[in-house]
Amino acid sequence: MRAARGDFLSSAEAMRLAIAEAKKGFAHVSPNPLVGCVVLDSAGRLLSVGHHEKFGEAHAEVNAVKGLSTHELQGAQVFVTLEPCAHEGKTPSCAKMLAQLPIDQVVYGLEDPNPLVKGQGAAILKAAGITCLHYQEMATHDLKDELEELCEAFLWNFRHRGVFVALKVGCTLDSQLALSSGESKWITGEESRSEVHRLRASYDAVLVGSGTVLADDPRLDIRHPEIQKANLAVVIDPSGRLTSKRDQLALGQRELGKTLWIEGERDPAKILDRLWDEGIRSVMIEGGAQIASAFLAAGLINRLHLFRAPVLFGNQGRSFAEFFRVESMGERLTPRQIQTQNFGPDTYLTGLLRDPQTGVIYRGM
């Protein structure tokens, strides 16, 4: 959505704007969540926006109110996608900072997922005489899914003490990743590939199998004009067939420490444990069919990113789910919260394969 300073915004518009603002931090906040903040004046007109820009630096609330005068903040309303933090961490408590301002009201989108501190930010604000509301309680427009999606990896990490896993697929209309020869450059178009680079920046790491490395020798780095980030690549090489070749591979040319080689392990759950121990909180699997199928079969994919080019290869034995199958209608995977979009000539679909709260895999109906 577009809004200019001085525009009157409804609560729903303000929260949507805060969500849009939060997304600007996508490449640099992990393992923190994306957070956005919007300040309206006492009459409901837009004063300012802010977002959490980088891990370890100022929170969204600080960025939103900085530069506003006491006069402007008199009776203001603050909309923030996540409950303001109660405690000092790398930065001071946002709830305490807001409590000192002459604002009237704070509306937050999601409660802090930590049961030990949930509600404490709100309590600090209320004690200071500021009305503090949970958006879900007041709103006629339900933004719960959008708010949760904004910090889905953070919430998953907290709730399940595990790595958030996305699977990215770029395939044909008949679901092939490549020709039987292995050739795959390029199936999807430029617009899709640009979006993939943006997605790479949203996750802590990308992950591929040794087969993909041998077939494509991918760089797996982020090549996007608006993103400056050296990402981490994880290569799963169960039989160690890349060991002697590493120096000749594009991946071998990457910045030191930016490629993690995992040998001798093919159990998806154990691979994720290893990533967790390495401090990786979210990962995007980029192929090939062996790895994708293994993680699908293990029920360990949280989110699917599916790019599809208007191209037909026929059956090359290279479906992205080639080595996975369900045995009955009741077992079929039925992703939810589906969103679709076009990127140039390609279509894109994303959805959740597991319940974000319980972790249950969506199946059957």
Site for a copy of itself in 178-197 (CB under 8 A): 179-180, 183
Choose, by CB under 8 A, the member of 30, 202, 210, 316 that binds a copy of itself.
Answer: 316
Cα–Cα distance measured from residue 44 to residue 75, given in angstroms and rounded to the nearest whole number: 10
Shortest spacing between CB 171 and a copy of itself, in angstroms: 9
Report which DSSP code applies to 91.
S
Shortest spacing between CB 318 and a copy of itself, in angstroms: 10
| Residue 334 in contact with a copy of itself, rule: CB under 8 A | yes
Q: Which is nearer to a copy of itself, 261 or 362 (CB)?
A: 362
Cα–Cα distance measured from residue 252 to residue 274, given in angstroms and rounded to the nearest whole number: 21
Residue type, 226: E
Choose, by CB under 8 A, the member of 115, 129, 257, 314 that binds a copy of itself.
Answer: 314
Site for a copy of itself in 278-297 (CB under 8 A): 293, 296-297
Cα–Cα distance measured from residue 172 to residue 192, given in angstroms and rounded to the nearest whole number: 13
Closest by Cα among 338, 331, 264, 337 to 296: 331
Cα–Cα distance measured from residue 231 to residue 260, given in angstroms and rounded to the nearest whole number: 11
Residues 6 or more apart whose CB falls under 8 angstroms from that of 1 comprise: 13, 16, 17, 20
Shortest spacing between CB 102 and a copy of itself, in angstroms: 47
| Residue 347 in contact with a copy of itself, rule: CB under 8 A | yes
Choose, by CB under 8 A, the member of 229, 315, 355, 360 that binds a copy of itself.
Answer: 315
Element (H, E) at 127: helix 120-127
Q: Which is nearer to a copy of itself, 42 or 175 (CB)?
A: 175
Choose, by CB under 8 A, the member of 84, 125, 333, 343 that binds a copy of itself.
Answer: 333
Closest by Cα among 4, 3, 33, 34 to 16: 3
| Residue 26 in contact with a copy of itself, rule: CB under 8 A | no
Angle, CA 242 vertex, CA 240 and CA 248 arms, to 5°: 160
Choose, by CB under 8 A, the member of 338, 355, 357, 360 that binds a copy of itself.
Answer: 338
Choose, by CB under 8 A, the member of 265, 342, 357, 360 that binds a copy of itself.
Answer: 342
| Interface with a copy of itself: number of residues (CB under 8 A) | 42
Residues 6 or more apart whose CB falls under 8 angstroms from that of 314 comprise: 174, 176
148 counts as catalytic: no
| Residue 340 in contact with a copy of itself, rule: CB under 8 A | yes
231 neighbors 221 (Cβ within 8 angstroms): yes
Q: Which is nearer to a copy of itself, 31 or 299 (CB)?
A: 299
Tokens of 264: 């001798």
Shortest spacing between CB 289 and a copy of itself, in angstroms: 9
Report which DSSP code applies to 156.
H
Choose, by CB under 8 A, the member of 46, 174, 188, 217 that binds a copy of itself.
Answer: 174
| Stretch touching a copy of itself by CB under 8 A, among 34-42, 218-226, 273-281, 337-345 | 337-345
| Stretch touching a copy of itself by CB under 8 A, among 56-64, 93-101, 115-123, 338-346 | 338-346
Cβ-based neighbour number of residue 312 at 10 Å: 9
| Residue 253 in contact with a copy of itself, rule: CB under 8 A | no
| Stretch touching a copy of itself by CB under 8 A, among 14-22, 228-236, 246-254, 302-310 | 302-310
SS3 83: coil
Q: Which is nearer to a copy of itself, 166 or 234 (CB)?
A: 166
Cα–Cα distance measured from residue 282 to residue 160, given in angstroms and rounded to the nearest whole number: 13
Q: Which is nearer to a copy of itself, 234 or 284 (CB)?
A: 284
Angle, CA 19 vertex, CA 55 and CA 73 arms, to 5°: 85
Q: Is the peptide bond before 288 cis (omega within 30 degrees of 0)?
A: yes
21, 61, 83, 149: the catalytic one is: 61
Closest by Cα among 160, 194, 114 to 281: 160
Enumerate the active-site residues.
61
Name the residues that contact a copy of itself, by CB under 8 A: 172-175, 179-180, 183, 293, 296-297, 304, 306, 310-316, 319-329, 332-336, 338, 340, 342, 345, 347, 349, 351
